[in-house]
Amino acid sequence: MDQEKISPKVVFLDRDGVINRDSSNYIKSWSEFEFIPGSLEAIRQLTLNGFVIIIITNQSMINRNMVSKKDLEHIHTMMKTDIRSHGGEIKDIFFCPHIPKDQCDCRKPEPGLIYQAAQKHQVDIKAAVMVGDSTKDIECARNAGCKHTVLVQTGNGAAAEKILKAKKMFPDFVARDLLHATEWILAIHEN
């Protein structure tokens, strides 16, 4: 089976706290899913500028028996439909269903999901950007070897910024939200 070659411009996005509002109770149904203002426009702009968008997300609520994989797939189908209706496109979604004690290689900050995405879609990780709102997102991107990391201040971003500073691990850019992150990504990719 031949693998599909995709654009060298790839953005990995965390989901909760970046695209949609996060919840300490998890997002267990479509009715609990709420886009963060500007995230639909950000994804549209990335899509229109030739970026391939892949979501990389921890979803331990599956192994916590809070939802089924089918429930999660429904949320993702609805999310992708809304994104598409606003002019954006999500190429693929990779999720880790595990809880921390499972000690898997796909739960962020481990880089397994990025490696899976890179293998499936022939992504050059060294040219990719990762946008997230947590220390796990930035550490995952660094562990995988992504070229750029962007921390958004939505979701857990404010707390993550302090933790990252204490660890002396600095993202390449700190953005107010995904739309601000997109402006930076487009600027650094201008010829």
What are the residue numbers of the active site? 14, 16
The CATH number linked to 152 is 3.40.50.1000
pLDDT at 157: 87
CA atoms of 133 and 150, how far apart (whole Å): 8
* 162 falls within a domain: yes
Alpha-carbon Rg of the chain, whole angstroms? 15
Domain of 24, in residue numbers: 10-188
Q: Which two tokens stand for residue 22?
A: 């996060």
* 169 falls within a domain: yes
* 43 falls within a domain: yes
Domain count, the chain: 1
Residue 115 has pLDDT above 90, yes or no: yes
Task: Find the farthest-apart pair of alpha carbons in the chain and give their distance in angstroms, rounded.
Answer: 48
| Beta carbons within 8 Å of 89's beta carbon, 6+ residues apart | 43, 47, 53, 83
DSSP assigned state of 8: S
Q: Which two tokens stand for residue 130?
A: 């990762």
76-96 confidence digits (pLDDT tens): 999 999 999 999 999 999 999
* 5 falls within a domain: no
Task: Look up the pTM and report it.
Answer: 0.94
